[in-house]
Chain A
Amino acid sequence: MAYAYLFKYIIIGDTGVGKSCLLLQFTDKRFQPVHDLTIGVEFGARMITIDGKQIKLQIWDTAGQESFRSITRSYYRGAAGALLVYDITRRDTFNHLTTWLEDARQHSNSNMVIMLIGNKSDLESRREVKKEEGEAFAREHGLIFMETSAKTASNVEEAFINTAKEIYEKIQEGVFDINNEANGIKIGPQHPTTNSTLPGSQGGQQAGGGCC
């Protein structure tokens, strides 16, 4: 399957906030959420289309590896996007965001796009963190924000795709060095020859980025 770009994401956040469920919900529509089944996955890939281009998203859950400093470090560095997830029904998961964010900022490359996600928005009755609080946190730290529900699939698609759009824009602006795979972005194996404007425009972008 040919793609123009491959973006690598990581999902971070406290345990039990529903990271792997979000991931499965996004990467595999066939698993339909039902009330008596909680199901997730630690890795997934999916093709999306942005601006007429096929973009493959590869998402790695980092759960269970936090105890090794070398591992978290490397994961952050290899990703172009990060979904930082908390659980709107558990205040503590929201309180830990700062720590997560510090870690992410310290280890990732400065261009990494971070999206803040308040998950489990279906559990309105048990809500402990107001939507406004999430918005304020995101504004303060320059993140994109969204409330999602892996159970109802609400906003899940948007969360992943908006992050991809942001990355894509950064590529267009020449912020990301796409030839450097360490950034979590890979150019597709067969570059679409039909789209002749792409390589040219990229070259222009890069030149533009280089001189400032």
Chain B
Amino acid sequence: MFGRSRSWVGGQGKSKNIHSLDHLKYMYHVLTKNTTVTDHNRNLLVETIRSITEILIWGDQNDSSVFDFFLEKNMFAFFLNILRQKSGRYVCVQLLQTLNILFENIRHETSLYYLLSNNHVNSIIVHKFDFSDEEIMAYYISFLKTLSLKLNNHTVHFFYNEHTNDFALYTEAIKFFNHPESMVRIAVRTITLNVYKVDNQHMLHYIRDKTAVPYFSNLVWFIGSHVIELDKCVQTDEEHKNRGKLSDLVAEHLDHLHYLNDILIINCEFLNDVLTDHLLNRLFLPLYVFSLVSQETRKINPQVSLYLLSQVFLIIHYQPLVNALADVIFNGDLSVFIPQTGMQDTHSGGVRRFTKPPESLERLLELSRHRGRKRTQKRPNYKNLGEEDEDTHTRGGGGGGGGGGGSSSSREGADEEIEMVVMETCKVSELTEQNITDEEKTAAATRTHTQRSRPFLEMVYSALDCTNDDYHALFVLCLLYAVSHSKGINSDLLERLQLPVPDQERSSYSLVLAERLIRVMSQAAQPDGRVRLATLELSCLLLKQSVLSGSPCVTNTSKPLNVEYLMMDASILLPPTGTPLTGIDFVKRLPCGDVEKTRRAIRVFFMLRSLSLQLQGEPETQLPLTRPEDLIKTDDVLDLNNSDLIACMVVSKDGGQAQRFLAVDVYQMSLVEPETKRLGWGVVKFAGLLQDMQVSGVEDDSRALNIIIHKPSSNPHAKPLPILQANFIFADHIRCIIAKQRLAKGRIQARRMKMQRIAALLDLPVQPSTTEVLGFGQTANASPGGLPFRFYEQSRRAPNDPTASRAVFASVDKVPGFAVAHCVSQHTPSPLSSPSTPSSGSGSTGRCDSVTTSTISAQSPADDGTFLESTPPSSSCGEGEGGGPPPTLAPSLTPASQPTISLLTDSNADTLSVESLTLLPPADSVIPLPPPPKKTKDMLITRPFGVASNILMI
């Protein structure tokens, strides 16, 4: 339609003609002939306005005379004239689009100044469009946003009028701060931020004195209303059905906090003062913090409050705000809610409560503007405005933004929309307003009872109790984590409270906190403990932070917990669940079924193990089981003397052929080709883990094997990805059989090695045949007969089948509790004496290492009957590595023997000593303490927890 219309407007349709001064003159002519909008000329006018935009932008880029003409003829006035005629949606949208394009594309500052100079733009900003039309609304707010992006110290004067105290761009925009359409709200926020960013003192003073109280009080109320809705959503939830809505509300709350933080980090000091005052005294304290205590009168549930407070501390780092907030939570009592207590903050008249602002934002803005005109002398600052608000409070009450009525009829649609939101929140406000004095009552009551209590802190600590569940505890841990990591919080405050300060030297830590944390851990270590993995991980983190000095910064193999992400997840707001059907991440829910219980137990073990190592300052020596640096890699050069090699032709799937020698190492098979320079050496062309290998015969060729090696994957559900897939053709069928056997044996032995290593890790006794397998160096020619197969078969079933595991580990006479080497003398050694309740209290006040270990070990023997059956408690004292040196971890260090070959590199061979490679036979000596000095390559087995072996049996 428009395409055709251009032909009669633009003459011959040549673009050169359209973009020219002459054409603009013609457009001007059209405008002068059509000053009144009618049905007949509407299309013509729309196309004319559109063409003018195009010419102006073209002029800005190519010919400045175009702009001169536009200004000279004051063509902007025509636009306004058309706009004011209620010319209808079609024309409105076109005008707004034109303005958008105009201000977006203008590149020359002077052109921009020209456009802004005659105040037409402000007239358009205050024009009452039909905001009920979503397209007009969108174009309008985009227009304001485009303008706000042009704001700087120079252009601000075109929008902000010092003499009349007008700043239409800003005040019109913030009226939509609670618009139901999210994109509109986002645009409003953008506009406000762009305004605050401009460093113009006069303008900012105006913002503070005339708009800050109305805007921030409404904003804070808006946020609070969302919070109450969120809380309702949590309370009314059944079986996690509200999760979708809840995650939106949580995301909304995060948006609010990020917005507040964006304002605060612009760091406009006096604006921040007002905002901090409102946030603290009208939202965070009366709504969030107050709800931590006082059951009857609280407005939201404590767990919601804890969750939201953690978010606050994670996101907002503005010092005056977070410091004051933290001080109340950790130091304050309910007296902060009593008016006139002489607290440091008297800005809001001393009363801290969450109440609806007396008037709608629009009305408040209007009021403060008039007030400003009449009584500038008398009421120069926002503090007095606050009082005035209190005065008018009774009158404005539940009116629900009735002040909006002053606007003209064309705006009514939009007003309704806004009011609808306000009305909704009104219902809430009525509820809360009944409770206005509750804070005071409760506060007064508490004061008479206790002299100096810290009810919030007490609540926080008592919520760490995980006896029934860890619903609250997780949030408390997050809160503590967030507070201790907040850049805005004074480290003095943290130190005084003995809260964990990361990366700092310290002399003391909070016994109470440490004890509670340890209690969480010991609950987590119970087979049926109702503690989620995320909770445990956080407790470990906090305990480390509390008691370790300096920054140990031990690199963990697993990805560290991202608390900020954790707290973005709405699903943890609902009571902990066990069912995976909810789609909640495993670490954020309880295990379901035996497999998951085992998974959880294994993870608990690893976490506690690593915590114990770190607290004792010992290095990790056993994990991961396979370290990449120990493996043979492609292009390694190896000494193959004394190795068994089998020559073969490797025919890969795509037809490529290569002559190679097949060699089998401890964990790997490799394909080598001879090194040209040194006799008996070889260059590795391929190396793959035996555990990822599949070997099968080739049907019509008895000399060939088909071998597939998959890429190692940590995810059991991932589709295996082959890294090698080839036919190996040997000289004859005998060599083929030998190769097959060698690979099969290698695989079995690799598995046994790993099982031994796992057993050692779990403090499980080592199988008698171990030495033969592991210490090839000495005696390994005894080929493992049927036993390995049994071992292999059983170990596959082991995690789920108690009988199988008994069979595997039965031949042993060791006990889990023995491992607590350092503490063995400190606690009762009898594993049967302690019931399942851990007696952490006794040990918790000691130094860190004994604390943890005793807690864990105290309960360890109690929970698994199966295990006790197979392990007589008599030999509970330590054994294990005994006098013998511990096993080495590096597989490539293992010396050569039958039937595997050794692929030693020179450097490694030097450091080898035979004894260091022998795995401990079960010895009955006591664990040496401290460990004997070792060569650098040697490693120590540390045995942190007796609980380990239990865990695997659960």
In whole Å, how far is B560's beta carbon from the nearest beta carbon of chain A? 17
Is the beta-carbon distance between A58 and B183 smaller than 8 angstroms?
yes
* Cβ-defined partner of A78 (8 Å) among B2, B186, B258: B186
The answer to whether B248 touches A180, judged by C-beta atoms less than 8 angstroms apart, is yes
Asked whether any CB of chain A lies closer than 8 Å to the CB of B139, the reply is: yes
Q: Decide: A30 near B262, CB < 8 A? Known: A39-B57, A71-B190.
A: no
A182 at the interface (CB under 8 A from B): yes
Q: Find B104's partner among A40, A68, A73 (CB 8 Å cutoff).
A: A40
- A36-B19, A180-B248 known; A69 and B258 CB under 8 Å? yes
Does residue A117 face the partner (Cβ distance < 8 Å to B)? no
On whether the beta carbons of B182 and A182 are closer than 8 Å, the reply is yes
Whether a CB of chain A sits under 8 angstroms from the CB of B58 is yes
Cβ B54 vs Cβ A31 within 8 A: yes
Given A69-B262, A73-B255, A74-B255, A39 contacting B54 (CB threshold 8 A): yes
**Interface residue tally for chain A (C-beta within 8 Å):** 36
B103 to chain A, nearest CB (A): 9
B735 at the interface (CB under 8 A from A): no
> Chain B interface residue count: which class?
35 or more
Chain B CB within 10 A, most for which of A31, A45, A74: A74
Nearest A residue to B135 by beta-carbon distance? A45
Q: Give Cα A101–Cα B61 distance, bound, in whole angstroms.
A: 33
| A183 nearest CB across to chain B (Å) | 9
Chain A positions within 8 Å of B193 at CB level: 68, 70-71
Expressed in whole angstroms, the minimum distance between the Cβ of B435 and any Cβ of chain A is 30
Q: A8 to B181, alpha carbons, bound, how many Å?
A: 11
Cβ of A15 within 8 Å of any chain B Cβ, yes or no, is no
A145 to B185, CA, bound (A): 31
A8: nearest chain-B partner, CB-CB: B183
Q: Measured between alpha carbons, how far is A24 from B251 in the docked complex, in Å?
A: 31
Q: Given A70-B189, A78-B183, is A37 in contact with B245 using a C-beta cutoff of 8 Å?
A: no
In whole Å, how far is A209's beta carbon from the nearest beta carbon of chain B? 11
Question: Which A residues lie within 8 Å of B3 (CB)?
Answer: 29-30
Query: How far apart are the CA atoms of A74 and B139 in the complex, in Å?
Result: 19
Q: Is the CB of B182 within 8 A of A78?
A: yes
- Convert B179-195 into 0s and 1s, putting 1 for each residue whose CB lies closer than 8 angstroms to a CB of A: 00011011001100100
What are the residues of chain A within 8 A of B261 when measuring CB–CB?
Answer: 69-70
Contact yes or no, B138 A45, CB < 8 A:
yes
A38 CB within 8 Å of chain B: yes
Question: B254–A73 contact, CB under 8 A?
Answer: yes
Is B259 engaged at the interface, CB distance under 8 Å to the other chain? yes
Q: Say whether B897 faces chain A, with CB atoms less than 8 Å apart.
A: no
A78 neighbours in B (Cβ, 8 Å): 182-183, 186
CA distance A55 to B611 in the complex (A): 56
B15 CB contact (under 8 Å) in A34, A68, A73, A177: A34
B738 to chain A, nearest CB (A): 43
Kindly provide the distance from the CB of B266 to the nearest chain A CB, expressed in whole angstroms. Answer: 9
Check: A65 CB closer than 8 A to any chain B CB.
yes
Contact (A182, B248) CB under 8 Å given A32-B15, A74-B255: yes
B44 to chain A, nearest CB (A): 14
Asked whether any CB of chain B lies closer than 8 Å to the CB of A43, the reply is yes
Cα A160 to Cα B244 with chains together (Å): 28
Which residues in window 19-75 of B have CB below 8 A to A? Answer: 19, 47, 50, 54, 57-58, 61-62
Tell me the interface secondary structure of chain B in the complex. helix
- Please tell me which stretch of B141-149, B644-652, B819-827, B905-913 contacts chain A, meaning at least 4 of its Cβ atoms lie within 8 angstroms of it: B141-149
Q: Provided the pairs A42-B142, A73-B255, A74-B255 are in contact, do residues A65 and B105 lie with their beta carbons within 8 angstroms?
A: no
A42, B104: Cβ atoms closer than 8 Å: yes
- Contact pick for B101, options A41, A45, A64, A70, CB 8 Å: A41
Q: Could you tell me if B244 and A180 are in contact, using CB atoms closer than 8 angstroms?
A: yes
Contact with B along A58-102 (1 / 0, CB 8 A): 101000110011110111011000000000000000000000000
Closest to A24 in B: B101
Residues of chain B within 8 A (CB-CB) of A43 are 100, 138-139, 142
CA gap between A180 and B261 in the complex, in Å: 27
Given A70-B258, A78-B182, A65 contacting B54 (CB threshold 8 A): no
Contacting pair A37 B61 (CB below 8 A): yes
Bound-complex Cα distance A28 to B54 (A): 12
A70-B255, A70-B259, A70-B261 known; A75+B104 contact, CB < 8 A: no
Question: Which B residues are CB-close (under 8 A) to A41?
Answer: 97, 100-101, 104
Inter-subunit contact B105/A39 (CB<8 Å) = yes
State A38–B62 Cα separation when bound (angstroms).
Answer: 11
Would A77 and B105 count as touching, CB distance under 8 A? no
Min Cβ gap A62→B in Å is: 9
Residue in B50, B185, B255 whose CB lies within 8 Å of A30: B50
* Segment 11-65 of A: residues with Cβ below 8 Å from B: 20, 24, 28-32, 34, 36-45, 58, 60, 64-65
Given A41-B101, A68-B190, A30 and B2 contact (CB-CB distance below 8 Å): yes
In the complex, are the beta carbons of B149 and A39 less than 8 A apart? Answer: no
* Interface of chain B residues 521 through 568 with chain A (CB within 8 A): none
Determine how close the nearest CB of chain A comes to the CB of B552; give it in whole angstroms. Answer: 29
Measured between beta carbons, the chain B residues less than 8 angstroms from A38 are: 61, 105
Interface centre among B15, B139, B149, B183 (most CB of A within 10 A): B183
Q: Counting CB contacts under 8 A, is A166 at the interface?
A: no
- Give chain B residues whose Cβ lies under 8 Å from the Cβ of A71: 186, 189-190, 193, 262
Interface residue A181 (Cβ < 8 Å from any Cβ of B): yes
How close is A109's CB to chain B, nearest CB, in angstroms? 9
A60–B374 Cα distance when bound, in Å, is 42
Closest residue on chain B to residue A31 by CB atoms = B54
Residue interface mask A107-127, B partner, CB < 8 A = 1? 000000000000000000000
CA distance A74 to B185 in the complex (A): 9
B contact residues around A68 at 8 Å (CB): 189-190, 193, 262
| CB neighbours of B245 from chain A (8 A) | 180
Interface residues of A in 171-187 (CB under 8 A from B): 177, 180-182
Q: Which residues of the other chain, A, contact B50 by a CB distance below 8 angstroms?
A: 30-31
- The reply on B506 being an interface residue by CB < 8 A is no
Q: Which residues of B contact A77 (CB under 8 A)?
A: 182, 251, 255
Q: Which of A24, A36, A40, A69 contacts B58 (CB 8 A)?
A: A36
Q: A32-B15, A34-B19 are in contact. Are A42 and B258 (CB under 8 A)?
A: no
Neighbouring A residues of B100 by C-beta, 8 Å: 41-43
| Chain B min CB distance to A83 (Å) | 16
- In the complex, chain B residues whose CB is within 8 Å of the CB of A45: 135, 138
What are the interface flags for A178-199 relative to B under an 8 Å C-beta threshold, 1 for contact and 0 otherwise? 0011100000000000000000
Measured between alpha carbons, how far is A32 from B57 in the docked complex, in Å? 13
In the assembly, what is the distance between CA of A70 and CA of B97, in Å?
Answer: 26
0/1 string, B843-872, CB within 8 A of A gives 1: 000000000000000000000000000000
**A34-B15, A36-B19 known; A65 and B190 CB under 8 Å?**
yes
Q: Determine if B182 and A181 form an interchain contact, defined as CB atoms under 8 angstroms apart.
A: yes
How distant is the Cα of A73 from the Cα of B568 in the complex, in angstroms? 12
Name the distance in Å between B192's Cβ and chain A's nearest Cβ.
10
Which among B104, B190, B259 is the interface contact of A20 at CB below 8 angstroms?
B104
Cα A32 to Cα B149 with chains together (Å): 26
Select which of A37, A58, A70 is within 8 A of B262 by beta carbon. A70
Does B128 make an interface contact (CB < 8 A)?
Answer: no
- Given contacts A68-B189, A69-B258, list 6 more A-B pairs with CB under 8 A: A30-B6, A37-B19, A37-B54, A39-B58, A39-B105, A75-B186
5 closest A-B pairs by beta carbon, nearest first, are A70-B258, A43-B142, A70-B259, A30-B2, A78-B182
**B contact residues vs A (CB 8 Å cutoff):** 2-3, 6, 15, 19, 47, 50, 54, 57-58, 61-62, 97, 100-101, 104-105, 135, 138-139, 142, 145-146, 149, 182-183, 185-186, 189-190, 193, 244-245, 248, 251-252, 254-255, 258-259, 261-262
16 contacts between A and B (CB under 8 A): A24-B101, A29-B3, A34-B19, A37-B61, A38-B61, A39-B54, A65-B190, A70-B258, A71-B189, A74-B186, A74-B255, A75-B183, A77-B182, A78-B182, A180-B245, A182-B252
